[in-house]
Amino acid sequence: MAMGKKYGSVMDELEVLELLNDQFTGDEFPGYENVRLTYRQLKTVIDRQLPGWIAALQNTKAVYLITDTSNGLLYVGSATAQDGMLLQRWSSYVANGHGGNVDLKRIVQEKGFTYVQDNFQYSIIENYNARMDDNYILKRESWWKETLKSKVFGYNKN
């Protein structure tokens, strides 16, 4: 049997000692396979230039996933040398919510930037070192779009 107390029975005994600005504190980079950030967490990483995160994101090419947590729609993208690798790519999403993607622009125009801030989650599907051929990464991006059906049931149009 679990032991515990209900909040109502102890609430008068509790004291708030500190209110933090953000829930996400920018803990150490967890490894590429464990990256899953809300928009606000990603913005914190980029705005605060958290060293472990920045070093990892600026030196990797990747296939990544954006999930709209309000409806489950997906967007598969890639970060290659020609677009500044993953840090540059994700910085563009933080800046405007759409990173230049046509369908994501439509979402921002119709629902507002706050919709992205409240509902988008960013994760890495595959990561590669800077020497990996960009064409290979683009082929992997296409494979994931087909596998996840993000053209049919998501935000990918190409």
Within 10 A of 136 (CB to CB), how many other CB atoms are there? 12
Answer for the pair 86, 57: CB distance below 8 angstroms, yes or no.
yes
Residue 23: what pLDDT? 54
Phi then psi for residue 34, to 5 deg, are: -115, 20
Residue 82: what pLDDT? 77
Give strand ranges (E) for 69-134: 74-79, 120-129
Residue 153: what pLDDT? 93
The pTM of this model reads: 0.82
Token pair belonging to 157: 């149009």
Answer for the pair 129, 61: CB distance below 8 angstroms, yes or no.
yes
C-alpha–C-alpha distance, residues 151 and 13, integer Å: 54
Question: H-helix or E-strand containing 19?
Answer: none
Residue 84: what pLDDT? 79
Which regions in the chain score pLDDT beneath 50? Answer: none
Residue 5: what pLDDT? 72
Average pLDDT, the chain: 90
Residue 18: what pLDDT? 58
- What domains can you pick out in the chain, each with its CATH number? 31-148 (3.40.1440.10)
Residues in the chain: 158
Phi then psi for residue 60, to 5 deg, are: -135, 145
